[in-house]
Amino acid sequence: MKKYNFNAGPSVLPDVVLEAAAKAVIDFNGTGLSVLSISHRTPEFEAVLAEAESLMRELLCIPDNYKIYFVGGGASTQFFHIPANFLGGKAGYVHTGVWTKKAIKEAKYYGEVEVVASSEDKNFSYIPKGFEIPADLDYLYICANNTIYGTEYKCDIDSPVPLIADMSSNILSRPIDVSKYAMIYGGAQKNLAPAGVTFVIIRDDMLEQVKRKLPSMVNVNTHVENGSMFNTPPVFPIYVLSQTLRWLKAEGGVEAIHERNERKAAMLYAEIDRNPLFKGTAAVEDRSSMNICFVMNDGYEALADEFFAMAKERGMVGIKGHRLVGGFRASCYNACPVEAVEALVKCMQDFEKMHA
Ligand SMILES: Cc1ncc(COP(=O)(O)O)c(C=O)c1O
């Protein structure tokens, strides 16, 4: 049966990417060796890394005064790498859910944290706006897309201090103005690759802002100076990432995928709003285009399990909401096809016919 993959991460990757990856596992670029067993110090892998970097630059229009590197450890490792490098006095965090909570906790090991705004009062169902950003902060930290709660910053905010963003779950889903950020990073396991690689995009001036002596692997300069090769990089995830970037370019790039993402999100949110059995959980103006969260409407709560069962029967995978929000979450990342969203909408409509 055809499966529709709505997993929050690791998540759907384009079929052509999976095919290329499967082939490379057996024979990488005609070398007669598996991509799983080549040295990262070969010209062949260096070419993969160079292509990944240059496509990332091209697709995100990254200015020349930024460096890119790829490293292991997941986004969670950056939660402490960022303050270790850049928190000397005080840093500001906008608290929008589980991932900022974890980042704040790690930052407190290194210095003072000021939560400049929070949406905790309404179970993180919105993005705080209009907050003051103190000028004495070492940096301001945001999570651009809150995977669990389905909220997203819809534009690149202005900050008088260096802005650092976790874009794990919305990188390359919409055009961004990179020049507004001092650093953008994320785990690649949603829009780019299997788990195992983290991308970091960092403005040159930040490299001179490291506040303390650090172990080599923690210092951002180590990774920049060694071009992601200080230690063995995650070879296979980087290979897949480069293939996903090729796919994205062939699809028309970030503008084109953004248009498709908006179409998918509009279709599903329209059904959530129309269908009397369901309701959305995020503030309308902050609704994520990547992670679409909804629950059974008041009075229909008891039908949740039945809806899961029906969706499962129709091949839908990964639509259970995070336990902190409940209900349903359809993650509609770049590689999620329009047909998957159409199938989910149809399932909701058929369910309504059975119950409303
Ligand atoms: C927005 C966001 N940040 C950070 C993380 C943590 O990433 P990792 O598991 O790579 O440490 C996740 C994981 O889902 C996430 O969605």
138 shares its domain with 170: yes
**Token digits of residue 212:** 């303390």
Which residue of the set 138, 156, 166, 286 is catalytic?
166
Q: How many domains does the chain have?
A: 2
Which residue of the set 99, 156, 247, 286 is catalytic?
99
Q: Is residue 4 part of a domain?
A: no
Q: Is residue 122 part of a domain?
A: yes
Coil vs helix vs strand at 328: strand
Q: Is residue 7 part of a domain?
A: no
Question: Ligand 1, atom 10: nearest CA belongs to which residue?
Answer: 74
- Structure confidence at residue 142 (pLDDT): 99
Report CA(313)–ligand 1 centroid distance (Å): 29
Q: Is residue 234 part of a domain?
A: yes
158 among known catalytic residues: no
Q: Looking at 250, 277, 297, which one is the last position of a domain?
A: 250
Instruction: State how far the Cα of 58 lies from the Cα of 61, in Å rounded to an integer.
Output: 5
CATH of the domain at 292: 3.90.1150.10
Amino acid occupying residue 229: M
Whether residue 334 has its Cβ less than 6 Å from ligand 1:
no
Task: Provide the angle, in degrees to the nearest 10, between the axes of the packed helices 235-250 and 253-274.
Answer: 80
- Structure confidence at residue 48 (pLDDT): 98
- Structure confidence at residue 1 (pLDDT): 87
190 among known catalytic residues: yes
Look at residues 174, 155, 149 and name the one whose alpha carbon lies nearest to residue 280. 149
Q: Looking at 202, 228, 250, which one is the last position of a domain?
A: 250
Q: Find the distance separating the first CA and the last CA of the chain, reported in whole Å.
A: 28
Instruction: State how far the Cα of 234 lies from the Cα of 222, in Å rounded to an integer.
Output: 16
246 shares its domain with 258: no
246 shares its domain with 257: no
**Phi, psi angle pair for 347, to nearest 5°:** -65, -40
Q: What is the DSSP letter of 269?
A: H
Question: Ligand 1, atom 4: nearest CA belongs to which residue?
Answer: 75
Instruction: State how far the Cα of 236 lies from the Cα of 192, in Å rounded to an integer.
Output: 12
**CA angle at 305 for the pair 121 and 265, rounded to the nearest 5°:** 60
Report CA(215)–ligand 1 centroid distance (Å): 23
305 among known catalytic residues: no
Instruction: State how far the Cα of 312 lies from the Cα of 306, in Å rounded to an integer.
Output: 10
Q: Looking at 225, 250, 275, which one is the last position of a domain?
A: 250
Q: Is residue 8 part of a domain?
A: no
Whether residue 147 has its Cβ less than 6 Å from ligand 1:
yes
Cα distances from 321 to residues 84, 149, 326, in angstroms, run: 33, 9, 5
CA atoms within 13 A on the CB side of 297: 13
189 shares its domain with 48: yes
Strand order in the sheet with 328-331: 278-280, 291-296, 328-331
321 shares its domain with 185: no
- Is the CB of residue 91 less than 8 Å from the CB of residue 141? yes
**CA angle at 184 for the pair 181 and 185, rounded to the nearest 5°:** 170
Atom number in ligand 1 closest to CA 167: 1
Q: Is residue 79 part of a domain?
A: yes
Report CA(339)–ligand 1 centroid distance (Å): 27
233 shares its domain with 269: no
Strand ranges in 43-97 using DSSP code E only, listed in sequence order: 66-71, 90-95
Question: Ligand 1, atom 2: nearest CA belongs to which residue?
Answer: 168
Range of the domain at 314: 253-355
CATH of the domain at 77: 3.40.640.10
Instruction: State how far the Cα of 152 lies from the Cα of 231, in Å rounded to an integer.
Output: 34
Report CA(9)–ligand 1 centroid distance (Å): 8
- Structure confidence at residue 356 (pLDDT): 79
123 shares its domain with 66: yes
Q: Is residue 29 part of a domain?
A: yes
227 shares its domain with 313: no
- Structure confidence at residue 146 (pLDDT): 98
What residues in the chain have per-residue pLDDT under 70?
none
Residue count of the chain: 356
231 shares its domain with 268: no
218 shares its domain with 271: no
Using a 10 angstrom Cβ sphere, with 0-12 exposed, 13-18 middle and 19 or more buried, the burial of residue 71 is: buried
132 shares its domain with 206: yes
Q: Is residue 6 part of a domain?
A: no
- Is the CB of residue 218 less than 8 Å from the CB of residue 85? yes
185 shares its domain with 294: no
